[in-house]
Amino acid sequence: MTDSEGGPELPEGDGPQGATQGDGPLVVVENVNKYFGELHVLKDINLTVDRGEVVVVIGPSGGGKSTLCRSINRLEPIDGGRILVDGQELPEEGKDLARLRADVGMVFQSFNLFAHKTILENVTLGPTKVRKQGKQESEKHALELLDRVGIANQAQKYPAQLSGGQQQRAAIARSLAMRPKVMLFDEPTSALDPEMVNEVLDVMTGLAAEGMTMIVVTHEMGFARRAARKVVFMAEGQIVEENTPDEFFTNARTDRARDFLSKILTH
């Protein structure tokens, strides 16, 4: 497949590297706490993501990974601490939040495409409604992105007519159409049949190579080794360890991480 290669070069300013300006880290999470009732799901989380950095968050189920991901664009409100995107603290609600959220692309476990709209309409909806882009410009850019993720020939189909892997690639194109500064991926391959996983990971690897800032919650250790600049290991609501992929996978520092790796890498 040619998901991550062979697509057209993105125009200047449209690609991931043209999406951010300014200096300093792009995402800063400071002392963030989150509760679901009595359950303390995020405990004093601190994380810094630099521009162009790919951070892969791994760990056992229920460790807080997805909650952290969803907190970064306030799909989950936090109960303490603060989160900054490109130097701006996330507002709690209103137009300012919508504006800032447009800079943070999100790809979910379930594809969340609008079933009654074509793939092309799904990809152009955000740019026309939120970015106030003209229809012709948004469709041109959408078709370039669909080509980029290998499904330009599916543009006029509806989500139900596509495979799971194609739907997830459409969801990635939809997020990219907003020209986000950072992309969040919350277990983007966990709902896919095994043969479809690589076609989505290939697209994500291509984005990483182009310099897109990405935070990826995943169980795909091969992707973590290949594409991450930093691996963050979370368990029981805390960041237990953070390191380069090489160091983490060959020389994990904590017993908790070593135990996790011994269970997943031997199967």
For residue 190, give the CATH number of its domain.
3.40.50.300
Picking from 15, 136, 128, the residue whose alpha carbon sits closest to that of residue 7 is 15
pLDDT band at 20 (very low <50, low <70, confident <90, very high): very low
Percentage of the chain modeled with pLDDT above 90? 73
pLDDT band at 195 (very low <50, low <70, confident <90, very high): confident
Q: What confidence tens digit (pLDDT) does each residue in 31-76 have?
A: 999 999 999 999 999 999 999 999 999 999 989 999 999 999 888 9
Mean pLDDT along residues 206-232: 94
Q: What confidence tens digit (pLDDT) does each residue in 227-258 have?
A: 999 999 999 999 999 999 999 999 999 999 99
Q: Is 8 part of a structural domain of the chain?
A: no
- In the sheet where 39-49 sits, what is the strand order? 39-49, 27-36, 80-85, 88-89
Q: Is 128 part of a structural domain of the chain?
A: no
Q: Is 129 part of a structural domain of the chain?
A: no
11 phi, psi to nearest 5 deg: -60, 155
Q: Is 101 part of a structural domain of the chain?
A: yes
- Give pLDDT, residue 22: 60
SS3 10: coil
Alpha carbons within 13 A on the beta-carbon side of 258? 6
Q: What confidence tens digit (pLDDT) does each residue in 117-157 have?
A: 999 999 999 898 888 888 899 999 999 999 999 999 999 99
Domain span including residue 200: 16-115+182-264
In whole angstroms, how large is the CA radius of gyration of the chain? 18
Q: What confidence tens digit (pLDDT) does each residue in 159-175 have?
A: 999 999 999 999 999 99
- Give pLDDT, residue 166: 95
Q: Is 164 part of a structural domain of the chain?
A: no
Contacts of 254 (CB under 8 A, 6+ apart): 233, 240, 241
- Give pLDDT, residue 21: 52
- Give pLDDT, residue 266: 61
CA–CA separation, 218 vs 10, rounded Å?
Answer: 27
CA–CA separation, 194 vs 186, rounded Å?
Answer: 17
H helix runs in the chain, sequence order: 65-71, 94-101, 119-129, 135-148, 164-176, 194-210, 221-227, 245-251, 255-264
Number of domains in the chain: 1
CA distances from 142 to 67, 96, 156, 239 (A): 30, 25, 12, 37
Q: Is 192 part of a structural domain of the chain?
A: yes
Contact assessment for residue 151 and residue 98, using Cβ atoms and an 8 Å cutoff: no
Q: What confidence tens digit (pLDDT) does each residue in 80-90 have?
A: 999 999 998 87
- Give pLDDT, residue 5: 34
Q: Tokens 């189909």 identify what position?
A: 157
Q: Is 151 part of a structural domain of the chain?
A: no
CA–CA separation, 257 vs 267, rounded Å?
Answer: 16
Mean pLDDT along residues 91-110: 81
CA–CA separation, 123 vs 52, rounded Å?
Answer: 23
Contact assessment for residue 230 and residue 214, using Cβ atoms and an 8 Å cutoff: no
pLDDT band at 102 (very low <50, low <70, confident <90, very high): confident
Q: Is 146 part of a structural domain of the chain?
A: no
Mean pLDDT along residues 25-30: 95
Q: At residue 181, does pLDDT exceed 70?
A: yes
